[in-house]
Structure 1
Amino acid sequence: MADSRERIRGPPRDGREGFTSPRQVLRRLMLLSEGRQYREAATVVGRLGPSVLRSVVAELPMDILIEALPHSTYLLESFFNRLNTVIPNPKPEVPSEAIMWHLVKLFSNPHESGLRQRCTKLAQAIGTWQPSLRDALMARRKQLDQAIEGLGVHGLTADHSGSLISLHIALKNELQRHIETYKTAIHKLEELSTVTVNPDPAQSSHQRLLAISHGDIQQRLIDNKTLLTMLDKPALKQLSQLLENLSQRVQNDKEVLFCVGQIRRIDTSANTEERPAAGLLMNYSRGCEAVLGLMGPLSAPSSPTSNGCGSGSDGYHSDSDTDETKYLPQN
């Protein structure tokens, strides 16, 4: 009779059969992931308790799941939904930022059909788990947009006559004018030195200065006015503007190269050496904007239901088709 009851009861079919330790859960998840059975793996994760979940998250090679995106979306989404539901502070270390940047990479060049539909719940769960990621995305998008804007300031510049020429030629012409002016001024100073320079310090004393005649003051005014006219030419004042322009261009190019370097770290397959920088930066700016849109506004973690599972903890996604063209960033 007892055997009959055992046969009727049988093992549970809810994804918990035989899982008595985190090691067994981890082995099961690895086998399912290797077979790309991410839905089944998500179901297992959706039923883990807090202690087992912490252990599994610490041991599971998340980098493999990140590289498998968007196919592994179901499993990663289930992890974050379950973390948001049952894990209180302190939160375990989870590579949520790496997942976010991988999503940005996917949306910067969206080739997968239904990409938005597959990744929306994952992005929302990550945003709930680590709200600061929204700020990181907004800051990166702003940085990319500023770098793109900076690429447009390397055009022609106006010289002292108002003609549009390249900045380097404008600097060369300006420096030549300065050199010629300074040579003339030095020659004039040498002429004046034979008259005005007196090695005797007594000649420059306060009493001596108060005792000079009207004619001496008049000549001193003429000499100083001549020098000022030579050196204080309006045309010579453009050098500071040109140098400021040059400094801004240097800073802009630094920002562009810094952003390209960040993209290279996110996407090692990106052909950053050959692709136009503006197009590359614009794609990733749109990727940041797309993921921000998927995350949506900041919301509180979902409350657990009566059976201990969150509303989306089993990683289920609707398979209904939607119009993707109005959501995906355009290349």
Structure 2
Amino acid sequence: MTTALLTPAEPAAGAPVARRVLTGDRPTGPLHLGHYFGTLQNRVRLQHQGAELFVVVADYQVITDRDIADRLAEHSEGLVIDYLATGLDPDRATIFAHSAVPALNQLLLPFLSLVSVAELSRNPTVKDEIAHSRQAAVSGLMFTYPVHQAADILFCKADQVPVGQDQLPHLEVARTVARRFNERYGARGPVFPEPRALLSATPLLLGTDGTKMSKSRGNAIPLAADEDTTARLIRGARTDAERRITYDPATRPGVAGLLQLAALCQGRAPEQVAEELGDGGAAALKRTVTESVNEHLRPIRARRAELAADRGHIRQVLRAGAERANAVADATLGEVRTAMGSVGSD
């Protein structure tokens, strides 16, 4: 079955503005430019379009691919700081920690009964995550990760979910769970919508080594980095020996990735940036990228410094978000129990 797709910057003809959107991140370290251009900007755009945003700090899911959750509280608060610094409004978006919403996690058991072991073992995203796992041995939590994400999505009945291409198989599991639950238990009417994918209009952003920018690969430029650190990271980025700067992602991925980064910061096409650089070589390219990134992030970093100085406010944002998320999760779990005829349901 094909996942329904929708690009947030270009809604499908006749499609309503998103009613409820679920998105979020695992608190495994600082967010970086790949997150910013790939997801954070889209969240702010959806907020401005009138969507109701639920943003999960997926702390329970940190241990899917590692043995311990390192510096969990620090990283969780860091995520919230990045969310607010880039424009999310906690009065309009429900920002909450996964572990603070018990009813959400209770959905996992009935949802697991709707998916076969064979279906989970075929999931290409799970296979990739297992290959890059930091665990001494692959845990059952890693294997059932897509169903955890289905609970995250369906507890608030999100109808649209911003994802990258590599996350589409996970979203398809959520759609399958919703459909099968409705078929099996929806005699009084469907309980869950089948969420659609919101694909970012931003292509995959490459890291300093020419591969996908990722915290775990050590090739990312964090939003929290200062200007000198940003310059150092970009100076170390992989390019090639050709002096003429051209935008050719297929044969010159390192150069193309840097051009794309400068272009995103400048609001232009990478081909235009390449044309201006001409025969300037890698040094001119890296200098342009550094200046573009630092200029673009300067107001975000200033706002981030203000937020980081008031951790009490960040914790209050999480408390208020958890209160709203718990009310929604409790209501959904009540519907699930009623539909299943569980003991204690009305």
Task: Place the TM-score, normalised by the shorter chain, in its bin.
Answer: under 0.3
Q: Which has the larger radius of gyration?
A: 1
What is the TM-score when the length of structure 2 is the normalising length? Answer: 0.22
The structure whose RCO (Cα within 8 Å, separation 6+) is larger is: 1
Larger helix fraction of residues: 1
